[in-house]
Structure 1
Amino acid sequence: MAKGKLSWRDVLPIHPAAEVVPPMSEQELRDLGDDIQKNRLHEGVALFEGQLLDGRNRLDAMELVGVSLLTGDGKINWENIPHHNVSGKDPVSFVMSKNVQRRHLSAEQKQEAIAKLLILAPEKSNRQIAATLKVDHKTVAAVRARKQSTGEIPQLRERIGRDGRRRRNPRGSPARRRVARQPAAVRVGATVDASQTPTVYAELTEAWRRASGQEREQFLKFINAAYVRDVEVVS
């Protein structure tokens, strides 16, 4: 597109879900544009609540080879662009079902798509996203873990499965996972090496040494419950 010339992108907003699948290369766009010029655009673009949901590459391809997409007053020339509205559908699922079947994505592109999907819809389960992108659910889990560690997506207590039902995160809440990572010395049934304990805790360690096994177990259960309550308050 010549510098200063208005593009369809300047007047038609793009839905975030449309950006999940990576764009075609310039050569791919040019080949597609040439084909559309020769054989016309057989599959129209999809709109969702006034935004472009599917058809970004088709419009880019047409514009690249010189097809006029705008009217004289700078609006989209819908009379010459087949289109339909898909309001009421899940935009993310719609985009993925269209593009995964239509395009061959490399492993790197799939990783990128997984990351974008997780940011857009973190409530979707790993298996649901894996089925959509035709990848292993463990791959999705690995990408999710990276995004959670950087704070790009939240750690949810519930996720939506392939059947549309909400289920608790099988790995448990963040608080319970932190409890599970406690050192063995503070878990029920563990013993304490008094020689490794700072002097300031001498009285506590002596009391622990004198306590019976049942008393130790009850005490640790109490501490464990208090820890969980405190962490859930700040989570």
Structure 2
Amino acid sequence: MFPALPEDELHDLAQSIKAEGQHKPIILGRDGVLLDGRNRLAACELVGVEPRFTRYEGNNPTALILAANLCRRHVSKGQQAMIGAMARPFSGHSLRTHAKLHAMSLSRLSAANVVLEHAPDLAEKVRLGTLGLDAAYAEAGDRKARTAALIAQHNELRQHAPDLATQVTEGTLTLDAATATLHQRLEDERLRRRVKEVDAIRQADGEPGPSHTELAEQGEITWEEAHHRAEQHHAQRQATIQGAQQSLEQIARNWTAVQDLAVHLNMPYADEVLDGLTLGARALATRLTSQV
């Protein structure tokens, strides 16, 4: 799990052992598996010195390995975090507990865990020291986002277009093409719903003639054209409603004049008012005063 010493440092260690002896024993597990001291063993073999061993009698060899190696000078903080993340599953600890037990930065350990989960190929490079943790974490974040987007696309297809999802699974349709087809379907459905909504309003208003829906279903116009006409009708209807509202508001603001005219009907005042109006306005005034 821990990277070996660079060749020049291994030679320095070998010469030190040859000159001064092996200060720390190489630790083996109960089954003879090497737990700590790989570099010391290689150095001894390099200069022909008989290595000195000891046996670990504890119950947590993973903790021993981490404790013995995480603080080695040739291992960077990023490497330490990655090695810690790789070893954590063997301990069963949470990230927080693992960081606390081994005096590691929780944020750095969390970043290493993201890399390990979403970019395991980069995790190995971080462990070996050929790639920095920050760079690997940035790329892992991008991969995580892309994966999430792909999953969202798949979920959308399964929910709204299982036939397209099946084609993607079978490899007969790309995910992007399937998504584009789905979005076109949804847009077509939206247009049709809108056309039918406007047609229902037209029918309720008592407008004659075939509906836009009928024309589209009969193939006389496309649904896009039907939608265009429906929106035009809706805009014109809204403008007419707004104009009528404004006119009625104006009548309401001037209703006292109508009431005053009604009081003075058949009097010179009323005659002069009506004489100054157009024929249309005079007819309207007559009808209004009859309602007062």
TM-score by length of 2: 0.37
- Structure of higher RCO (CA pairs closer than 8 Å, 6+ residues apart): 1
Larger Rg over CA atoms? 2
By percentage of residues, which structure has more helix? 2
Greater strand content: 1
